[in-house]
Amino acid sequence: MSKESVIYIAGHRGMVGSAIWRQLSEQGYTNLIGLTSSELDLKNQKAVAEFFATKKPDVVIDAAAKVGGILANNTFPYQFLMENMQIQNNLIDAALKNDVEKFIFLGSSCIYPKLAPQPLKEEYLLTDSLEPTNEWYAVAKITGIKTCEAIRKQFGKDYVSLMPTNLYGTHDNFDLNTSHVLPAM
């Protein structure tokens, strides 16, 4: 990835996406693309495909997701499962079809089993039951991870998954009904 690479950051206004944007900008990357959800609905497969065909990003960082705390996950399991799968599937598929050289998918530590030994290790994935309070979000994220893995295996592409953990900071969700524990405090 060069300083001139066209880098699309999906979710660039969220906590993680905005931090990635700031870091890349500070490091001299000059061709960053970020669109709001009103500019590009990532759940709309046709719109995402048209964006990729037009903008032709070299690198995609997927920091976009429907996120929330325990109450939100328990109240809206269908939305957490489907919207996250739509977003990531549309992005990954469009990236593959448009020959994007590098795709970085951001997962979540909630993908690991509820009773996984600590500290967590990658190999604990899918070894036991998920935490029921966020299993729908976790299943969607596991699907994204496995999709990137399948693309690496079948096509030899540099599509990777990273697991940010215990995030808190600027641009977090501080709503008591939908946030995670730390920002709610």
Amino acid letter, residue 166: N
H or E segment and range at residue 155: helix 135-155
In terms of Cβ atoms closer than 10 Å to its own Cβ (0-12, 13-18, 19+), residue 161 is buried
Known active-site residue 29 = no
| CB distance 83 to 29 below 8 Å | no
Locate 25 and state its tokens: 């900008």
Q: Which of 124, 137, 159, 168 is catalytic?
A: 137
Active site residues: 137
